[in-house]
Amino acid sequence: MLRCRSTGRCVCVAVTHLKARSGWEWLRSAQGSDLLRHVQNVVQKQAADPAGVPSSDIPLLICGDFNAIPTEEVYRRFAASPLGLDSAYKKLSHNGLTEPAYTTWKIRPTGECCSTLDYIWYSQHTLRVDAVLDMPTEEQIGPNRLPSFSYPSDHLSLVCDFSFKET
């Protein structure tokens, strides 16, 4: 839980790295459900503080490597959560409804793997996405994919600017 020193407003930030590999979708779903429940408890506990604010007014940012494509159950759990979350990187799409084509692109012994597995979820009713860092193009990533000299991780960085919506 972070509190702005000048305004006193809070924001709850969580970071995760869910189980990788095919066949573990059930575990990622359980991990995601646990994370959502824990974040909700943290926010409710903060709201119960006599100096606290209502839990619905505390914005959430949940970021990380979910190791799940957008059709997977854990993604759907976050999208349908009663916490009012939305995925920030959908803002890059033409219609504002689809994730980027990839957040990781690597060459494995089994072949090339280009997927969206990373997300920044935010409280859409209390936070506004002001900017997102563009994804590099295929040409910028290069023929050897990730990691590379220019992009030293096997996942691309997701970066967003957020501001509080006026209440």
Which tens digit of pLDDT belongs to each residue from 15-31? Answer: 999 999 999 999 999 99
Q: What is the DSSP string of 104-158?
A: EEEEETTEEEEE--EEEEEETTTEEEEEEPPPPPHHHH-TT-SS-SSS-SSB---
Helix, strand and coil content of the chain, in percent to the nearest 5, comes to 25, 30, 45
Residue 37, burial from CB neighbour count under 10 angstroms (0-12, 13-18, 19+): exposed
d(C-alpha 57, C-alpha 82), whole Å: 13
* pLDDT computed for residue 50 by the predictor: 65
CA distances from 2 to 16, 42, 101, 160 (A): 17, 12, 32, 17
Across the chain, mean pLDDT equals 93
Residue 37: is its pLDDT beyond 70?
yes
Give the H or E element holding residue 86. strand 85-87
Which tens digit of pLDDT belongs to each residue from 53-107? Answer: 666 689 999 999 999 999 999 999 999 999 999 999 998 888 989 999 999 999 9
Which tens digit of pLDDT belongs to each residue from 94-149? Answer: 898 999 999 999 999 999 999 999 999 999 999 999 999 999 999 999 999 999 99
* pLDDT computed for residue 134 by the predictor: 94
* pLDDT computed for residue 92 by the predictor: 83
* pLDDT computed for residue 46 by the predictor: 83
* pLDDT computed for residue 90 by the predictor: 94
Domains in the chain, CATH or no CATH each: 2-164 (3.60.10.10)
Residue 127, burial from CB neighbour count under 10 angstroms (0-12, 13-18, 19+): buried
